[in-house]
Amino acid sequence: MEINTKLFISVICTSFFTFQLLFYFVSYWFSAKVSPGFNSLSFEKKIEWNSRVVSTCHSLVVGIFGLYIFLFDEPTKTDPLWGGPSLANVNIAIASGYLISDLSIMILYWKVIGDKFFIIHHCASLYAYYLVLKNGVLVYIGNYRLLAELSSPFVNQRWFFEALKYPKFSKAIVINGILMTVVFFIVRIASMLPHYGFMYSVYGTEPYKRLGVLIQLSWVISCVVLDVMNVMWMIKISKGCIKVISHIKQEKAK
C-alpha cells in the first residue's frame, strides 16, 4: 500500500507541538480558571497536574477517534493486516506525537514525574507505531490498541481529586473509582481476548507470512509487554476498588 510519509511526519510534529503547548501554557491558564485549588498546589504538583491534563486531552482525542474508526472505517475492517490508507494512520500518528512529547517532559522533570514503567510503555508503543506507519501494516491492530486510552481520563481524574484533597470516600471519588475500574477492565483487560484470538486466527496465513519475521515478533512482544503492565495496573486498581466497596458496606452496616 502507498505510504504517505510526509503526511505522517506532519501529523506527528503537529501533535507534538500541540501537546507541548498544552503542557507549558494552556493547562496553567485553564486549570487556574476551572479549579481554584490549582494555584495553591506546589510546583511539583502543578507539573504532574499539567502532565495529566495533557494526558486526558490526548486520551479523549485518540480514544474517541479510535472508537469511531474501529466501528466505521471500512479499509481497516476489511483487511486488518494490510488494510489500505485510512483515518487510523492519522490517529496513530497523533498518538506518536503525544508519546514523544510526554517522554520529553518526563525526562526533563524526571525527579517529579519520572517513571520507569511509563518509559517502557511509551518506548514499546512508539516502536510498534513506527513499524505500523513505516510499513503500512497492522493499522487495524494499532488503532484497536489505542482504545485502551479511554480509561486514562478516569485514572487522571482520581489523581486530580487526591491532589485537591477530596475526602477519600466522597461520592465523586467513589463513582469515578468504580467507573475507572470498569472501563479499565473493558478496554485494557477484556480486550486482550479478541486481540490474541485474532492473532491466533491469522497465524500461518498468507497475509501473516507476508508481514515478515521482524513485524511478527514485534507485534507479539510489544503487545505482551504492554499487557503485562496493564494486568499489573488492573490488580492495583482492583485492590483500591475492593477497599472502597468494603468501606461503603461497613458504613451501611453501622
Strand blocks (E) in the chain: none
Q: Which residues touch 168 (CB under 8 Å, ≥6 apart)?
A: none
Q: Give the number of domains in the chain.
A: 1
The pLDDT value given to residue 3: 66
pLDDT tens, residue by residue, 44-96: 999 999 999 999 999 999 999 999 999 988 878 888 999 866 789 999 999 99
Rg of the chain taking only CA atoms, in angstroms: 20
- For residue 55, give its domain range: 5-253
- What is the rounded average pLDDT for all residues in the chain? 93
The pLDDT value given to residue 166: 92
- Running DSSP on this structure, what letter comes out for residue 189? I
Give yes or no for residue 1 having a pLDDT over 80.
Answer: no
Other CB atoms within a 10 A radius of the CB of residue 43 amount to 8
Average pLDDT, integer, range 210-223: 96
Give yes or no for residue 102 having a pLDDT over 90.
Answer: yes
Angle at 184 between CA 37 and CA 126, to 5 degrees: 90
Give yes or no for residue 228 having a pLDDT over 80.
Answer: yes
The pLDDT value given to residue 245: 83
Decide: residue 185, CB within 10 A, 0-12 exposed, 13-18 middle, 19+ buried: middle
- Running DSSP on this structure, what letter comes out for residue 3? -
The pLDDT value given to residue 87: 86
Q: Is the pTM of this model over 0.85?
A: yes
Give yes or no for residue 4 having a pLDDT over 90.
Answer: no
Average pLDDT, integer, range 90-118: 96
pLDDT tens, residue by residue, 5-55: 889 999 999 999 999 999 999 999 999 999 989 999 999 999 999 999 999
The pLDDT value given to residue 10: 95
